[in-house]
Structure 1
Amino acid sequence: MNKQGRSSAVDAGLEHQELFPIREVSRLTGVNPVTLRAWERRYGLIQPTRTASGHRLYSQADIDDIRSILGWLERGVAVSKVGSILVRCQAQVQQSSDLMNVRLAWQQQILEAVQRFDSASLHRLFDQVLAGHPLDQVFGDIFMPVWHDLAAGQGGYGPRAFGQASAWLFLDQFLRGRVFVRLQLARMARSRTVLLAPLPGPCHELELLVTALLLGSDEVGVSLLAPGQPLQELMLICERLKPDALVLFSNQAPTVELSKRLERLVVGLECPLLLAGEVAELAQDSLAGSPVACLGAESSVMRQRLRQFLAGQLDT
């Protein structure tokens, strides 16, 4: 085959397989071909495929690795050390992908049990997930995404599909029961006590229960007030219960008057006032410098910030 024919064949192969010759990779990355060959031969950092005639062909993944290598070199890492770093990074990516696949598999099984209204299977799945995952993952990564999808009309039902409301209510009732049981089991004397109350407005009881469960720890016990709790009566309750902190929860956007209502409330409280849930994320800027501390919306972050605040290590 003449040179032009070989070139055409290679070009066709590259287009089909999304592979690139070394000169094109050099142009795309700014790394000269001599260096690319050295990284391959001396350090094993990249392993391009070869044509029948021995020409190197690089995939998009190889190009991404080359750019990653450049990034580590720019940070001052010796080229001889980059290989082990890349291996660890690739292992972490693979582990993350494997975890995601496991979570999706659990979610699918949960959804199928909910679609069958199969309480026994749902209890079995909950116990299995609980045995193999931390509480944050049990709810945040596995069960609550299914709950949210059903609430939004997803999860295989489609918007306004017949049976969607019943399926969501079935899962909601199941999870409220399981979380309530765990909260009861956790009712032990703790060195610190936090009172958790919902902000006025729409609030799903399950989200409040899960927040109470995930905020608690060996040092911090959480007492929970039900949805519908009047905001103006919280001063009276705190006066009687004397918690170490009052945490107000909501996953709704903050209202225009929220800051003023919180400022009035905090004046009459004898304990610190904190905000948790999506409202804490959205109101954080407007409350900066106020006596109200924002814990955020992600469970592990909320728990960590709560501990820091109670220890005097977190400013409002």
Structure 2
Amino acid sequence: MGQFSIKDLESLSGIKAHTIRMWEQRYGVLRPERTATNIRTYCDSDLRRLLNVATLCERGQRISHVASLSEQELCRAVAACCDDPHQFNPQITALLTATLDMDERRLSCVLSHAAEELGFEATVMNIVYPFLYRVGVLWQTGSLNPAQEHLASHLLRQKLLAAVDALPITEHDEAPRWVLFLPEGELHELALLFMNYLLRVRGFRVLYLGQNLPVCELAKVCKHYQPQHIATVLTTVPERDQLPQFLAKLAHLCVDTDFVLYGPLVHQLDLTLPPRFRRLERMTDFIRFVEQLTTVSSAAPA
């Protein structure tokens, strides 16, 4: 069972701590335990209830009414109000509660409905990324077990693969070429899969090599495929103190190719990048960069 501080609940629900305290005192929305030093602590059921209460209040329902609902009534009301994909936070909280309840059908339905109405790219940017941030908070507080995290990750992976599979294959031989890979030992693939989608939907040619690739293979890939860009996401690999050597090796293996780096490991302030390397902090930065390349490519003479 997870244990949350009031600041954890604030991060996960988007409801300010002082509002949570007021809801407790006036309406009995939550009944936290207290430590020996009188600090509030909350459990998994408190989190679920607060997420549901927050969803209904964001849709304009009065807290006095919402607080009076039983748990079953609360869940039914949330399910009924999460059908509008343009209301992002209800979709995010619906995904969170479905993950905690291990409800695969509900997870899939929320994502599919939003993608139909908003488009796949907007769904990932506005719903999936905030959802994954909150999943990370749950993981850090010990309130998400491996099975729940794997359920969400693998379902998102399926959605990304299906979205890519539905795209037409780029038939223009002159379209800029990209290689996407994760280095040996790196398994966090969701961001790379989304990059794959973003590039393909804009007409780039992509060679997707996926997880766990020995970087020595890149020399052969560059020789035969001749990409203009190589992108990778560095989350846990390599070790931080080995990153400069790793980047130097990439530069040596692919001397005529530009690299795009993404992920937590590349944001070290004292990290000096080799020539032709670019690091991007957010996925919006990657989209902006790709859009610039699209403009340049379409403006080039045939």
Tell me, yes or no, whether TM beats 0.5. yes
- Paired with 2:126 and 2:237, the residues of 1 have a C-alpha distance of 22
2:116 matched to 1:131? yes
Residue pair 1:281, 1:294 contacting (<8 A) in 2 also: no
Q: What is the CA distance between 1:295 and its match in structure 2? A: 4.4
- Paired with 1:216 and 1:285, the residues of 2 have a C-alpha distance of 33
**Amino acid across the alignment from 1:296:** L
Partner-residue secondary structure (3-state), 1:198: strand
> If you compute each CA radius of gyration, which structure gives the higher value, 1 or 2?
1
- Paired with 2:199 and 2:210, the residues of 1 have a C-alpha distance of 16
Residue pair 2:229, 2:260 contacting (<8 A) in 1 also: no
Partner residue of 2:43? none
1:1-316 matches, within 5 Å, as 102-153=87-138, 159-161=141-143, 164-186=145-167, 187-190=169-172, 191-252=175-236, 255-269=240-254, 271-279=256-264, 282=267, 286-287=271-272, 290-306=274-290, 308=292
- Paired with 1:113 and 1:127, the residues of 2 have a C-alpha distance of 14
Relative distance call for 1:106 and 1:215 in structure 2 (3 A) is same
1:220-250 alpha-carbon deviations (Å, 9 max, x no partner): 1332212210112211122222222212222
**Amino acid across the alignment from 2:91:** W
Residue pair 2:185, 2:237 contacting (<8 A) in 1 also: no
**Amino acid across the alignment from 1:143:** V
**Amino acid across the alignment from 1:177:** Q
Identity of aligned residues (%): 15
Relative distance call for 1:285 and 1:133 in structure 2 (3 A) is farther
Residue pair 2:180, 2:209 contacting (<8 A) in 1 also: yes
- TM-score normalized by structure 1? 0.56
Structure 1 stretches of 5 or more lacking a match?
A: 1-98
Q: What is the CA distance between 1:121 and its match in structure 2? A: 2.4
| Shift >6 Å, 4+ stretches | none
Structure 2 stretches of 5 or more lacking a match?
A: 1-83
Partner residue of 2:71? none
Relative contact order (C-alpha < 8 Å, sep 6+): which is higher?
Answer: 2
1:263-314 alpha-carbon deviations (Å, 9 max, x no partner): 33323325413132135851586345x3232140322321332454685x9x
- Paired with 1:188 and 1:173, the residues of 2 have a C-alpha distance of 27
1:30-79 alpha-carbon deviations (Å, 9 max, x no partner): xxxxxxxxxxxxxxxxxxxxxxxxxxxxxxxxxxxxxxxxxxxxxxxxxx
- TM-score normalized by structure 2? 0.58
RMSD of aligned residue pairs (Cα, Å): 3.4
- Paired with 1:152 and 1:280, the residues of 2 have a C-alpha distance of 19
Q: What is the CA distance between 1:151 and its match in structure 2? A: 4.1
Residue pair 1:103, 1:142 contacting (<8 A) in 2 also: yes
